[in-house]
Chain A
């Protein structure tokens, strides 16, 4: 057992931390958020230069052969910065599908421009009725000779508005919630029949509702085995949950630091308010919640690539329970301890609360994963 980062990982952490420290101050973030796309192409170029966009991909595909630990390092820094770019959507989610199931031809066509920052991907999987059920896919893929025609509505597609290509799930066979019968397709976001309704999310990120009206795709656009996509989707979502956990830890760390600093500087009744025990104990409880979340993020990172899917899902669910609960708690305490200033749009604390709240609601909230874990028999057999 070894908790230390390797030399390369420590170096990566150093450069990512420096990148966001230098270029992702809160004022900068406001200007990125106010741009038409809602994120910074300039930052995206810097991520590409640093090799972050190719981190999880194999070296033979033009990537850097990193694993969950490398993703954790990047996502934690992005969480601290409240980064707005489509790293999760493009590299972790859609990129994850491509990495795990893409054919040689698909990978060699898409990975290099993705790594270079020229192509943005998004993962168009969720649907209005599905909530957190990953098997709930109503979108249909009809065979048309050797090709396919996609028909359906995709919802809450993270960064679906800026994506050049979409990884779309659709049903080849079976009923709406059947585990079998789902396939994944790589679809040009500008293809005939694809229409997108973009909108901002509560945390300042972007998403889109995407309609697929008789979208024709070739047989070579299918990712992985026809009808057997669910295990792959689950695997990629599990990796994304581990990544989100790291992002949440980054955000909670920054928010806790910021709150403690506020307690030391804000004066009332002639003293720093951090001298009051009632507030000290809230701050101590924030730290405990943060450290428990950090521990479960390490656990999730370790288990994200576990080949035994049932074991992996239990671990990931457990981590998401802890993350959801810690995130809710830390954000609420931070807002309370800041008082009025924490309620304002101009101050960063509230923005951390918004992102943390949305992370809890992404890919299943704490209660959803608690139910999943309980039904699977818990962690200790």
Chain B
């Protein structure tokens, strides 16, 4: 047992750092630090920089553009990306549908979709949740009826992140209503330009335009766009959600947030001295750092166990990462709120912040603090709520 990084791992980390320092566009990095949302062009541009370097999809098999890195190297790469901070790779392609296509898709699907995912030529979104199917995802009702060489899809998806930019959507649809709910679901890849698809934005409490409703009205999907077998979609969805949870701890991002908190709390004053000198504040922050260090070690243990585990099955321990990761990320937003204090109040829409003519009210970093706090409440809700994760732990680990 040696829990330190090896000299090779440290050299790798330095290589990643050097690359990020050189290649991450500074305006984009500033946006991330400030808590602003990167634009579609920002994200596509950054993904193509990564792809040119050969680092767009490091966790994929080498034949499809993966790097062949060890699990620890994968972790270091993610950690450095998040600490830079670089925008997180859009997960819907590289972390969600990509691995599903690799594991369960046809050769034709792999050749057609995977290179375009790596280069973000196709922007993917996720069609899982429905108005009546949130935590009980398997109860979904969007129906796909087979007609010759097509499925005809009717129904509605909701909370579809960044669907307004999407070229494709991967969907869970019901193909059999007569069997146990998990056994009648199929995984379809649907071109967003197909007639009958309507995208309607949902404005979130922070004023953000992240999520949408997607309506399907007699949408014809070629059978060749089905992944794997009909009625086996639930297995693929579980595989996908398990992958989602390991990335969800976002330890590097919380490290970056904690450094940001220390930087701002050293400048902002309360009662005539920097907030960082307030013992109560420092202890609260230190307690969060302890939680984060513990999470990092837990994440590394899960990463180390990957070597000896069937990678096609999700590790139920990743539910711990999801729960703690969400709690810690949310706690960073509360500390930011505490630092900014009353200057959280003035509201400015994001386009006003970026192209502002007038000086801000209060500190120039204040405008995104409250919206981020509001927005990040989503973290304990999406990807299987923290309560669903506790159900998974109770069932899959504790055997209750």
Interface stretch, picked from B88-96, B144-152, B174-182, B285-293, is B285-293
- Per-residue interface assignment for chain B, residues 273 to 290, with 1 indicating a CB less than 8 Å from any chain A CB and 0 otherwise: 000000100110111011
Contacts known (A287-B393, A370-B283); A2 close to B323, Cβ less than 8 A = no
How far is B1's CA from A301's CA once the two chains are assembled, in angstroms? 10
B320:A378 contact, CB within 8 angstroms = no
Contacts known (A288-B324, A370-B287, A374-B283); A380 close to B292, Cβ less than 8 A = yes
How far is B394's CA from A1's CA once the two chains are assembled, in angstroms? 30
User: Which of A9, A284, A285, A318 has the largest count of B CB atoms less than 10 A from its CB?
Assistant: A284
B1:A296 contact, CB within 8 angstroms = no
Does B317 sit within 8 A of A, measured CB to CB?
A: yes
B390:A284 contact, CB within 8 angstroms = yes
Contacts of B390 in A (CB 8 A): 280-281, 284-285
Does B229 sit within 8 A of A, measured CB to CB?
A: no
How far is B398's CA from A275's CA once the two chains are assembled, in angstroms? 12
Contacts known (A287-B393, A291-B320, A321-B290); A3 close to B304, Cβ less than 8 A = yes
How far is B387's CA from A14's CA once the two chains are assembled, in angstroms? 36
Q: Which of B2, B4, B282, B294 meets A296, CB within 8 Å?
A: B294
Does B297 sit within 8 A of A, measured CB to CB?
A: yes
Does B125 sit within 8 A of A, measured CB to CB?
A: no
B259:A380 contact, CB within 8 angstroms = yes
Contacts of A281 in B (CB 8 A): 387, 390-391, 394
- Bin the interface of chain A by size: 35 or more
- Per-residue interface assignment for chain B, residues 64 to 98, with 1 indicating a CB less than 8 Å from any chain A CB and 0 otherwise: 00000000100000000000000000000000000
Contacts of A371 in B (CB 8 A): 279, 283
A1:B3 contact, CB within 8 angstroms = yes
Does A232 sit within 8 A of B, measured CB to CB?
A: no
B1-49 contacts to A, CB under 8 A, are 1-6, 9
Contacts of B295 in A (CB 8 A): 292, 295
How far is B305's CA from A380's CA once the two chains are assembled, in angstroms? 26
A284:B398 contact, CB within 8 angstroms = yes
The A interface is mostly helix, strand or loop, or mixed, namely helix
- Per-residue interface assignment for chain B, residues 256 to 282, with 1 indicating a CB less than 8 Å from any chain A CB and 0 otherwise: 001100100000000000000001001
Q: Which of A1, A263, A280, A283 meets B304, CB within 8 Å?
A: A1
B290:A4 contact, CB within 8 angstroms = no
Contacts of B72 in A (CB 8 A): 1
Does B355 sit within 8 A of A, measured CB to CB?
A: no
Contacts of B313 in A (CB 8 A): none
A53-77 contacts to B, CB under 8 A, are 69
Report the number of A-B residue pairs with Cβ-Cβ less than 8 Å: 133
B282:A374 contact, CB within 8 angstroms = yes
A374:B400 contact, CB within 8 angstroms = no
Contacts known (A1-B304, A287-B320, A380-B292); A295 close to B399, Cβ less than 8 A = no
Contacts of B2 in A (CB 8 A): 1-2, 302
B297:A287 contact, CB within 8 angstroms = no
B1:A3 contact, CB within 8 angstroms = yes
Does B200 sit within 8 A of A, measured CB to CB?
A: no
Does B397 sit within 8 A of A, measured CB to CB?
A: yes
Q: How far is the CB of B251 from chain A (nearest CB, A)?
A: 10
Closest chain A residue, CB of each to CB of B83 = A380
- Per-residue interface assignment for chain A, residues 82 to 121, with 1 indicating a CB less than 8 Å from any chain B CB and 0 otherwise: 0000000000000000000000000000000000000000
Does A254 sit within 8 A of B, measured CB to CB?
A: no
How far is B393's CA from A291's CA once the two chains are assembled, in angstroms? 12
Does A274 sit within 8 A of B, measured CB to CB?
A: yes
A302:B298 contact, CB within 8 angstroms = no
User: Which of B255, B258, B286, B393 has the largest count of A CB atoms less than 10 A from its CB?
Assistant: B286
Q: How far is the CB of A331 from chain B (nearest CB, A)?
A: 18
Closest chain B residue, CB of each to CB of A68 = B1
How far is B283's CA from A285's CA once the two chains are assembled, in angstroms? 23
Closest chain B residue, CB of each to CB of A273 = B400
Does A298 sit within 8 A of B, measured CB to CB?
A: yes
Does A277 sit within 8 A of B, measured CB to CB?
A: yes
How far is B278's CA from A371's CA once the two chains are assembled, in angstroms? 12
Does B111 sit within 8 A of A, measured CB to CB?
A: no
How far is B1's CA from A260's CA once the two chains are assembled, in angstroms? 30
- Bin the interface of chain B by size: 35 or more
Does B300 sit within 8 A of A, measured CB to CB?
A: yes
Does A23 sit within 8 A of B, measured CB to CB?
A: no
B3:A280 contact, CB within 8 angstroms = no
How far is B283's CA from A295's CA once the two chains are assembled, in angstroms? 21
How far is B298's CA from A296's CA once the two chains are assembled, in angstroms? 9
Closest chain B residue, CB of each to CB of A73 = B1
Does A6 sit within 8 A of B, measured CB to CB?
A: yes
Does B378 sit within 8 A of A, measured CB to CB?
A: no
B286:A373 contact, CB within 8 angstroms = yes
B394:A379 contact, CB within 8 angstroms = no
A325-381 contacts to B, CB under 8 A, are 370-371, 373-375, 378-381
B6:A378 contact, CB within 8 angstroms = no
How far is B251's CA from A380's CA once the two chains are assembled, in angstroms? 12
Contacts known (A292-B298, A299-B297); A69 close to B394, Cβ less than 8 A = no
Q: Which of A9, A263, A287, A295 meets B301, CB within 8 Å?
A: A295
Contacts of B283 in A (CB 8 A): 370-371, 374
Q: Which of A3, A260, A296, A375 meets B399, CB within 8 Å?
A: A260
Closest chain B residue, CB of each to CB of A9 = B1
A292:B400 contact, CB within 8 angstroms = no
A271-314 contacts to B, CB under 8 A, are 274-275, 277, 280-281, 283-285, 287-288, 291-293, 295-296, 298-299, 301-302
Contacts of A1 in B (CB 8 A): 2-6, 9, 72, 300, 304
A321:B298 contact, CB within 8 angstroms = no
How far is B259's CA from A37's CA once the two chains are assembled, in angstroms? 52
Contacts of B292 in A (CB 8 A): 379-380
Contacts of B296 in A (CB 8 A): 295
B279:A379 contact, CB within 8 angstroms = no
Contacts of A381 in B (CB 8 A): 259
B400:A295 contact, CB within 8 angstroms = no
Q: How far is the CB of A318 from chain B (nearest CB, A)?
A: 5
Closest chain A residue, CB of each to CB of B400 = A274
Closest chain A residue, CB of each to CB of B285 = A378
14 A–B contacts from the bound complex (CB under 8 Å): A1-B3, A260-B400, A263-B400, A275-B400, A280-B390, A283-B398, A292-B291, A292-B298, A295-B295, A298-B297, A301-B3, A373-B286, A374-B285, A378-B286
B residues lining the A interface (CB < 8 Å): 1-6, 9, 72, 255, 258-259, 262, 279, 282-283, 285-287, 289-298, 300-301, 304-305, 317, 320, 323-324, 387, 389-391, 393-394, 397-400
